[in-house]
Every structure is written in structure tokens, then in C-alpha cells.
Amino acid sequence: MTHRPRLGRAAVVASILVLALSAGPVAAAKPGGVGGGGGGKPGYPDRVTWSGFEWQVKTSTSAVGPGPNVFSKENVRVVDGDLVMEIAFRNGRWTTAEIIGPHLGYGTYTFSIESDVTNLDSWAVLGLFTWSDRARFNNREIDIEVADWGDPATEGNAQVVVQPWDAAGHLKRYTIADSGPTVHSFVWQPDRVDFSSARTTWAYTGSGIPPSQDERIRINLWLFQGHAPTSAVTVRFDSFTFMPLP
């Protein structure tokens, strides 16, 4: 995930939905570029199948990163082929959501969001990103994040990042203005990352582009610094697709 542009720090089409679970729950990065833990390892047994991929659902019984937050499988479900993620008050505390997909490598990652994300709660962070649990190459983290980092006066409401977020030229803030469905993508190549988010495009061609190896694709919806939101948050996704480099 990402960090705010101090402002904060880190955790943005060619596949088809395959399985729709009922509205019942199944089971879950950091600001401006702060990704999250877990992924591809024992401890997250719950799964959802969405957009042709199987995703682990992050869950925790205590507060963990990013945030820190408590992640609940109850906040992730597939409804009529759409992925629904929530920040919800459960059992006396606010809980968040994260899903962990497969390793995909270089190529085009595209996320289609049905919900209006122009006015998320100021403490909520929506992250679309790659993440490796190994610290090398800044966890191989590339981010698209919608977040105010707790400050509604922050310039823009979103950012794209090639970690490390605090290195010169590695982060761009921008504004998502469209209230309808939006499409967000990045094309990851060995020598560049090209972002397209709503109506904003940005190419990063500087140093420090991470080589692909063991990273996984992730989506999360969490609370910056674990701060309580003013109300519950729901984000609905139409699809995720991946196209490998030719």
C-alpha cells in the first residue's frame, strides 16, 4: 500500500467473472503506499472466486497492518458477479477488508469500480496494488490509492505510486471527479509503469521499478491509523482483468 505525500504512505481488461457467491459473506495496505501483510500462505483459509481468479480473504482477530485494523471475512462477498468490500462495525469494533490474488507478473492490471469513490470517508483508504511479503525492492509494491489520509483538505483524492513513496518523483496525487463507474489500471513493464485512473494518466520511467518475482495482486479497503469513520463504507467492483505483456 502507499503513504500520504506527507501526506502519508503504502496500498490502481481481459478476464470474466466466473462464479457468483450469494450475498452471504465469505471471508479479507497503508497510506500513500503502505501495503498489507499475509498473502499466499497459511492463515487465510477463506476464498472467493471473482473475475476468473481465486482470492484469499484476509482476516485477523486483532489489529494488524495496514492501519492497524481488524480485517473480517464478513466484509468481503461476491454478489451477482460483483465484488463487494466493506468497512463495517461488527462485534463492537470497526472492521476492514482485503483480498489477495495470484502472482501475475508484468502486464496490464485493470480494475473496474461501480461505486462512486469521489467522496470516501476521509479516514478510508481504497488500495489497488501489488505486494510481496519480502522486503526486497520495496516489497515490489505498485499502488493506486483513493484516500484523503484523514485530511479532507489534502490536494486531490487519489494517488499513484511506485514505491518507495517518499523518493522524488515516485508519487502523483490527482483528483477522481467522476461519480459514476470508473476504470483504473497500470501497465507494469521492466523499465516503466504506465498508470491510467479515471481521467488521469501518468508514466513512471525513473529508477527503482521493481522486478517481478513473488508479488501478488491485492485489493483492500481500510482505515488510516485505524481511525473510526463517520459511517460504514461500501465499494462495489465490476471486474478485475489482467493481460500479460506480449
Residue-range domains of the chain with CATH? 47-244 (2.60.120.200)
* Full-model pTM: 0.85
pLDDT at site 15: 33
Short-list 38, 95, 39, 98, CA closest to 69? 95
**Segments of 101-212 assigned E as strands:** 107-113, 124-131, 142-147, 158-162, 171-174, 182-189, 192-197, 200-204
Distance between CA atoms of 91 and 194, rounded to whole angstroms? 42
For residue 1, the model assigns a pLDDT of: 55
Ramachandran sector of residue 52 (left: φ over 0; alpha: ψ -120 to 50; beta: rest): left
227 falls in which pLDDT band (50, 70, 90)?
very high
Q: What is the mean pLDDT of residues 209-231?
A: 98
From the list 16, 94, 23, the residue with the least C-alpha distance to 50 is: 16
Q: Do 86 and 236 contact (CB within 8 A), yes or no?
A: no
* Alpha carbon distance 44, 209 (integer Å): 29
Predicted local distance difference test score (pLDDT) of residue 180:
86
**CA 54 – CA 48 distance, rounded (Å):** 6
